[in-house]
Amino acid sequence: MALRVSEIFLSIQGESTHAGRLCVFVRLAGCNLSCVYCDTEYAAKGAGSPLSVSQIMAKVELFGVKLVELTGGEPLSQPASAELIAAFADNGFEVLVETNGTVDIGHFDRRAKYIVDIKTPGSGQGGSFLVANYEKLKSSDEVKFVITSRMDFDWAVDIVRERGLAQKLTVLFSPADGFVTLKELAGWIIEDKTPARMNIQMHKVIWGQGARGV
């Protein structure tokens, strides 16, 4: 079964606890959400190019880097992504999966590390997170909140504390571009003593807003 691929490229991992590492990105096309701050609309709304799992594997292996991230769009919305994740793991790759949390991660290979976005009210997609995923998360996974306002921040802090997320895995707080500044979010985290890691999109700092293939 083919997957719809938007792009495959080698870059510096810009987010999560893996930020700064060389990483091959496989960005799949299509998304089931429409967030107000989406920075990959070309992938979310694009058709992509059909590639088989073996074709994707061949392209990724050419880079000679063993850290790979499956992203989108929403990569888990394509059924064949399960086969691709397993193929990467079988071939000795360290696999990261960036997902919006609407798809049951329990249906996918748990050798991968899942970076799960819990959509805040300000995203325009609040309430989309699949509650069952809370029980599927492992200590090697991470959860991310993209913050658009102080209301979003307070909402996210409540979720983190009510669910005990910081005791289970890494929690990431990211400022939404054009909504919250780095200083604002940093100040709120310090003031609140939030048990979360501030997550800055390093690739945007290096190459600027809107750069593709980085």
pLDDT of residue 123: 98
Whether the CB-CB separation of 88 and 58 falls below 8 Å is answered with no
pLDDT in tens, the chain (214 residues): 899 999 999 999 999 999 999 999 999 999 999 999 999 999 999 999 999 999 999 999 999 999 999 999 999 999 999 999 999 999 999 999 999 999 999 999 999 999 999 999 999 999 999 999 999 999 999 999 999 999 999 999 999 999 999 999 999 999 999 999 999 999 999 999 999 999 998 888 888 887 787 8
Question: What are the domain boundaries of the chain?
Answer: 3-207
Q: What is the pLDDT of residue 192?
A: 96
Is residue 103 a contact partner of residue 77, using CB atoms and an 8 Å limit? yes
Q: Domain 3-207 belongs to what topology? A: TIM Barrel (3.20.20)
pLDDT, residue 159, reads 98
- Contact at 8 Å (CB) between 194 and 160? yes
The pLDDT tens digits for 161-205 are 999 999 999 999 999 999 999 999 999 999 999 999 999 988 888
